Chain A
Amino acid sequence: MTMVVPTAYYVLLAATLFTMGALGVMIRRNALILFMSVELMLNSANLALVAFAQARQDVGGQVLVFFVMVVAAAEVAVGLALLVAIFQSRQTTDVDDISTLRG
């Protein structure tokens, strides 16, 4: 079982996807898109973990990805519930409009 695709390619792809997710968090103002960008970053981290797990032939990395998925699912559920609650009181998903805590 020879490894045809070098691990480096996977990690560079993961780094690019992570950067795109970080860029999305910075340039977009719609809270829904921000959540999607966070999911993108979590996924790119997962991809790097699986790539390293394959390089080391160690199943531990994949178990960690499983836990990341669980936390991501919990985070999305709570985050979207928060978003719905905010939308019910303020009628917006624009994070610039949610500035009640501003000094």
Chain B
Amino acid sequence: MLRDDPVANVLYVDLSKKSFRVERREDIFRKYIGGAGVAIQLLHEECPRDCDALGPENPIVFAVGPMTALFPLASKTVAMFKSPHSRNLGESHCGGRSAVAIRMAGYGAILVKGASDTPLYLAVHGNRVYFRDASSVWGIDTVTVGRIIRENEPGAGLRTIMRIGKAGERLVPYSCVTTETYRHFGRLGLGAVFGSKKLKAVVISGKRSLPVVDMKQYRRLYDEIYQAVITTSAMKKYHELGTADNVLPLNEIGGLPTKNLKTAKFERASEISGEAFAEKYLGRRLACTHCPVGCIHIAALREPYEDESYFYKTSMFSYDYEPIYALGSMLGGSDTKGMLGLMHQIEKLGLDVMSSGVILAWATEAQERGLISEKETEGIRLNWGDYRTYIDAVKLLVEQPNEFFRALAHGVKHAASIYGGEDFALSFGGNEMPGYHTGPAAHIGVLIGARHSHLDNAGYSIDQKAILAKKQLGPEELAKALLSEERWRQILSSLVVCFFARGVYQPDIVSKALSVTGFDLAPEVLHRIGEEIHKEKYRFKIREGFSLDNLYLPKRIFETPSALGKLDEKFIREVIEHFKKAIFVER
């Protein structure tokens, strides 16, 4: 890396002492590039063993990479923390303006620890750091608080505003952090970690020049990458219908989890497809900073007020495949207006939409089976596709007026451990399931993925390839395929390249792009670093008590046939055994 590159500057913020300092950490950036690679090192350094995820000692790390602000789509910020949801490694990625804002403010990473006694928000404008009183915005929803901070802070067009809603404040362990109104650090509860620190928001802005090794070479390479990005088929797909494009193909093959995965085919899928949403609601498309793809799809929902005729409100919020799965097919609903209303409510509260949907789906089935009555639900009768009651339920889930809602607020596995129904509590590694019942690889991938995300290793994609090829991988091959994908993705998330651009950022291109920033890393070296970062993450997981032995698999996934037919538990356990053998062995 280059000596004068600010990417190696780490901003350390202590919310207890209201102090900050900047340290040059060329040591870790040189070795691990940035993003996930650097973040896991900072987590090892700063997160005490067995610490309380909601205690002041739990640090929050935000990290970007040397290619951020230099090349298109290097636009993700990696957040790492100990998760209050899985009580283990917490990692979440977010786009918006966050990554470029951090880089332009002059940092490669920002580490926040300690906790404030009273609500505050952090404002970082270049080398100036402010601790601002947030008492007046505590309790305000994620959309409104963004508007208020926007009016009070400089840096329009050059800033990110990360914030939490009521869910984070009330420490719901799967609450998210929202940036730029429409992007999220979702899954695993970064919002609750913010809430535990009384940290309502973080605003970051900056504007600076960055060094490169050779300007001519940089500009030539930029043009090459930019052209490659705008001509890929992925660009067209993600720009046109966005990720919601996946609803129909996944349903077609029988891999769309429906009604708490009682089935994997939704008879009314066409009503909740990407096409249907685009036709009825698509109001605007947006992009993250420095990304020409523009995959963010914003729905415009017009609703009449009931007390006055011709009086409407129009709300705009983002939709994607995952929210449509979690709140649509998973809840057996095709009333898109109702579904969008629920999506909007979840957005304002600042909950993770996937976890919320899976939890509501479990609760619906639990009530259907008589495991819980209306006494527990405060009179609510949950029914598949009835969004009015679901909206009431998510509000109560955040309010937590009784034991039942307190249990729901702690995740589906926790709720099932009290009320029963564990066989259909769809949680993997302590995280509620994503929207894929494509075959064994999807579930194994989430189970063994370091952050229990479908994006760790894209098992669903391995299943889909197997469907096309009409041939499935054997247990050892499958374990290796998942592992090698996850290892390479460590490099992408250390560069902080969006996974949508993985087709463009192949090892040789990455190596060339990095050379412009003064990193001399050949493709084979990159593979080795990816492997090492993955091991470092697993080292943290094991330190915090994670084990690949006896991983819990909900029975439901074996009862409902997947796109690749009925799943075999023995096969899945075999794959995990092979993974266990391979993970710490050198290639």
Chain A partners chain B: no
Residues of A that sit less than 8 Å from B by CB: none
